[in-house]
Structure 1
Amino acid sequence: MTHAQPGILLPAPRLAVYLDFDLAAEGDARGALARLREIADGEQVVVGIGLSTVQALGKHIDGLRALPAISGPGIDVPSTPAALWLWLRGDDRGVLLHLARRLEAALAPAFYLRDSVDAFQYQNSRDLTGYEDGTENPKGAAAEAAGIVHGRGPGLDGSSFVAVQRWVHELARFEAMSAEQQDLSIGRHRVGNAEIDDAPPSAHVKRTAQESFTPAAFVLRRSMPWARGLEAGLMFVAFGRSPDAFEALLRRMTGGEDGITDALFRFTWPLTGACYWCPPLAGGRLDLRALGQ
C-alpha cells in the first residue's frame, strides 16, 4: 500500500516521542496543517488527526469518532481525545528533541502542545514486565489488510485509524506475584513465549485472541515502553482500517461480553485513550484532500 504513511507499517523504532496537541479556539487549523505537511514525511513523523480538528474544518471522515470511555467491574478506561497526535520515530534523542521543537513552532498558534511522552525499545521488543510484545501482529499483506484503509477512493485509500493509550504499570505489584501467576495473567510463558493452553479465561492472550471475534478483530500494534522518572508503562498504539476492532478488544478486556476482566488490570491500567485518523501520502506529503486542502 504505497499511499500509507510508511512509519505505520515499519517496525517500531529504537526511540520515539509522542506529542498531543489541542486546538486553539480561534486558531488557523488549515494554515497549521499546511505547515505540518512540509515537515511530516509519514516515516520519521507519523501524523494522526483528531475528531475535533476534522470538525473545526467542517469535514467528516467516515469511521472517525472519539474513543469511548468504558467501565467494567472495578475498571474505568478513560477517553482523553486530542486535536492532533504526532509519533516521532528515530534512534537519537537529541534529533527527536529538535524535531519536536520544530513541529511545535510550525503548529503554533493554532495548535498548542498538551503533552509529550518519551518511549524506547526494551531488550528485544519486550514490555517492561519482560514479556514479548506484539507476538501475533499480522505481517506483510495481512498487516496492510488489518491496518490500512482500501477501497474508499483517493484521499482515503492508504489512510488508517490509530488507537493510542498510555498504560502505567504498577511494577512493584507485578513483581510481588509469583512467576506462575505472572505467566497465567499474560497467558504466555515469559521464557520462550509459548502460549499456555490451559490459562484461565482472564489471561490477556485469551481475552484478546483476535481471531476469536466475529468479525476477526485484527489490529497492527506498534506499542513501546515509556518512562518518566520511575513512573513507567506501555504506550499502546494500534492501527486499524477502522476503530471497530480495537473497540471490540477493549470491550472484552473490560468484561463487557461475559463479566470477566483482563488479568492485566491487576497491575496496569490506562491513563489516556484516544483515536485519530492518519491521512495517506501523495507525492511524499500528507494527502489532506479529504479535509479540503
Structure 2
Amino acid sequence: MRRAPSSSASGSWPPSGSSWRRSSGSSVTGPLLCVWSAGLRCGVPPGIDAYPEGNSRNRRRAPVARGRASLREHAGGADDRTDPDVDPREGGSMPTAQPAIFNDMGEHQWYVHLSRTEGADLATIKGVVRDLRAACADQDINLVLGFGPTLLADIGAEMPNDFQPFETIKSTDGSGREAKGTQEELLFWMTSAHKDRNWKAQWDARQALKGHMAVARETITFIYGASLDMTGFIDGTGNPQGEAAERAAAVVPDGEPGAGGSFINAQRWVHDLEAWEKLPVKEQEAVFGRTKAESTRLDEQPETSHVAHVELREGATADATKPKRDELVRRSTPYALHTGDVGLYFMAFCKTQAPLRERLRAMYGADGGVRDRLTDFSNPASGSFYFAPSVEALDAGLR
C-alpha cells in the first residue's frame, strides 16, 4: 500500500518542531444540530452541468436517504453507511464510491475549501467531519468530501497513485494567461433542493472547526436555465453516457490504491461576459467547437477550439475517428458574486489524476501547443486537486 509521507505523526498541525498543545478529547463539543423539517423535494430542471467541454447531466436518481437515528448513529452520510469496524484495506468487496458524486445535485450547491491552522487537532477535525456527514444525511443534502494530499495522508487513508497538489499552469505564448493553483486541504461540496439546509450544515461545521481549520474560499452556485453555462452554451455533451460509463471513468478500479475513490479538479472559472457577448454566434461556436443551439460537435475543429484541447482520443486529440480515452465526469454549475464576477464552478471527477493535468496543460499550451481560445474569455481564479475516498475509507479514516 502506497502512502504519501504524513505531515504529522501525532495528529497536530503544523507537523514538526512545535510546542503547540493539542486540544483534549477526540470530538467536537457537540453534534451539529439541524432544525429544519423534512419538507418536500424540489424539482430539478432537466440538464447538464459542467466545464470545460461539457459535463454531467442532472439526471433524476433515487433521493438521498434521510437518517432517523441520532446524528452520531448515522455518521456515514447519505446513503453511504457501512460497518465502521471494517477496514477496506484489509480486503473484502469492492469499495463504494461516495454516492453524492453521482446523485442528482438539486438546485443549490455550496463549495467550501479549508486548510488547517496552527495548533490544529486532527481528532477534532475528524469529529466535525463525522458530524457533518450525519447532518447532511439527516437533511437530504448530498455531500462530497475531498481531501488534499497532506490531510488524506494524515487521516490514514490509502494514498492513490500519482496524487499531486495543484500547481499553477502558465501559458507560454506571452498572453499571461494561467490556471492558478490555490491548493487547500479539505473540500465540502454540498448539493440539495434547499439552500437554507446547505447553509446551515456548512455553517455549523465551520464554527466547530474554528481554531483547527480556516475557510480559504467558498462559492454558492445554481442551475441556470436548461443547464446552460453563462456563455449560453449547453453543458454536458461530452460526458460518458450512462451511470456505468460514468463510474468506469470516475472511480479508481478495485485492486488499485485508493479503490472506490475519485480524483477531483475543483476550479472557479471567471468569465469575461462583456467581451464574450460581443462575438458573433459563429465565432462563439468556433471557440467551443460546438453549435450553440444544439451543442452539436463541429465537423471541422479549429485548432484553437475548446474541443480540440480537451477531447482526448487515442492517437490524436479531437480526432472523431478515434475512440475516446481518459474520460471525465463533469459536474459543474454557474455562479454570480456580489462583486460582479460571474462564471462556472468546474468540478471534474476521474479515476486517475494525469488526465486532469493533461487537459489543463493543453488548454494553456504549456507543452508547446496552441492555447485554447476559450481562455481569452474565461480563466480560473482558483484551483485545487482533491481525492474523494470511498465510503469505507472515510469510515475507517474518520474513526
TM-score, structure 1 as length reference: 0.90
Structure 2, unaligned runs of 5 or more: 1-93, 317-323
CA contact (8 A) 2:169 2:180 kept: yes
Pair 1:211–1:9, CA change in 2 (3 A)? farther
**1:226 aligned to which of 322, 325, 335:** 335
Moved over 4 A (4+): 55-60, 212-215
**1:51 aligned to which of 125, 149, 153:** 149
- How much does 1:30 deviate? 3.0
Aligned to 2:55: none
Matches of 1:7 and 1:161 in 2, distance apart? 14
- How much does 1:96 deviate? 1.3
CA contact (8 A) 1:216 1:245 kept: no
* Pairing of 1:14-163 with structure 2 (within 5 A): 14-40=107-133, 44-56=142-154, 61-62=159-160, 63-72=162-171, 73=173, 74=175, 75-138=177-240, 139-152=242-255, 156-163=258-265
CA contact (8 A) 1:12 1:223 kept: no
Aligned to 1:9: 102
Max radius of gyration: which structure? Answer: 2
Matches of 2:289 and 2:243 in 1, distance apart? 26
Aligned to 2:365: 255
CA contact (8 A) 2:334 2:342 kept: yes
Helix, strand or coil: the match of 2:313? helix
TM-score, structure 2 as length reference: 0.67
Residue identity opposite 2:354 in structure 1? D
Say how many residue pairs are matched: 288
Q: CA offsets, 1:8-52, max 9 Å, x none? A: 112443110100111012211233123312322686211001123
Return the structure number with greater relative CO, CA threshold 8 A, min gap 6: 1
Matches of 2:354 and 2:124 in 1, distance apart? 31
Matches of 2:206 and 2:368 in 1, distance apart? 44
Q: Which moved more, 1:38-47 or 1:66-75?
A: 38-47
Residue identity opposite 1:66 in structure 2? P
Aligned to 1:277: 387
Matched, 1:287 2:394: yes
Matches of 2:251 and 2:387 in 1, distance apart? 11
Q: Which moved more, 1:114-123 or 1:257-266?
A: 257-266
CA contact (8 A) 2:103 2:142 kept: no
Matched, 1:201 2:303: yes
Pair 1:57–1:44, CA change in 2 (3 A)? closer
CA contact (8 A) 1:217 1:246 kept: no
Residue identity opposite 1:24 in structure 2? T
Matches of 1:26 and 1:87 in 2, distance apart? 25
Name the Cα RMSD after superposition: 2.3
Greater strand percent: which structure? 1
Structure 1, unaligned runs of 5 or more: none
